Amino acid sequence: MADEPAPDAAPAPAPAADEKQLLLQKIYLKDMSFESPKAPEIFSSNAQAATNLNIGSNNRVIDGDHVEVSLTLTITSKDGEDTLFLIEIVQAGIFTISGYTEQERAALLGSFCPGTLYPFARESVAEIVSKGGFPQLLLQPINFDALYQQAMVQRQAQANAGDQPIQVQVPGMESSGSNTPGGGDTH
C-alpha cells in the first residue's frame, strides 16, 4: 500500500506545445559609461542643471525562443552649454518567449521586457551619479505600455508619411527619444 500513489496526487501535466511562456533567464549590465568633463571645478560652481533622458530598446534572437533585450539610457545633465555629466547605460536581459502571436511577442519585447529591465538601470544611474560626486539622480517610473503604444502610432504615421525617427516623450524629464521600443535596433 505504501507504493500506491495518493488519490489526490496526479502527475503534473506536460506543458502543451502552444502554451504561452515568458521567463526571465538573466539580467546583466552590458555597458556603462560616465563622463564629467568639468570636474572638479563644477563642484564649486552654482550650476543650474537641466537633465535630459533618451531611452531606447532593441532585441535580438539568441536562439529559438531565447531573446536578448537591451534597454539603453543616455542621461545628459547640462548647465547652459556646459556638460555636468553624461551617462550611458545598456541594461540587458535574456528572456524566453514562446507560444505568443507575433503581435503579442512584439508587445512583450517593446513594453514588458524593457519595463522589467528599467528598475535595474535606474538603480545603476542613481549609484553612478552619486559616485561621480553629484546629488543622487532618481529617475521617475516610466509607463512602457504607453511608450510602446505611442511608438506604434508613430510607426504607423511613418509608414503613411515617409521615414522619420520615432520620438516618444518620457514624463518627468525634459525630453526623451526612443526609436523603436521593442522593435529592432534603436541606435
Domain ranges of the chain: 21-159
In percent, the amount of the chain with pLDDT more than 90 equals 61
pLDDT (tens digit, 9 = 90+) per residue, 22-36? 999 999 999 999 999
Q: pLDDT of 131-182, one tens digit each?
A: 999 998 999 999 999 999 998 898 888 887 765 555 454 544 443 333 334 4
What is the structure's pLDDT at 158?
A: 83
Residue 43 has pLDDT above 90, yes or no: no
Q: How far apart are CA 93 and CA 80, in angstroms?
A: 36
- Span 56-78, average pLDDT: 95
Amino acid letter, 109:
L
Give the DSSP per-residue string, 44-98: GS----EEEEEEEEEEEEEETTEEEEEEEEEEEEEETTEEEEEEEEEEEEEEEEE
Q: What CATH number does domain 21-159 carry, 3.10.420.10, 3.40.120.10, 3.40.50.300, 3.40.190.10?
A: 3.10.420.10
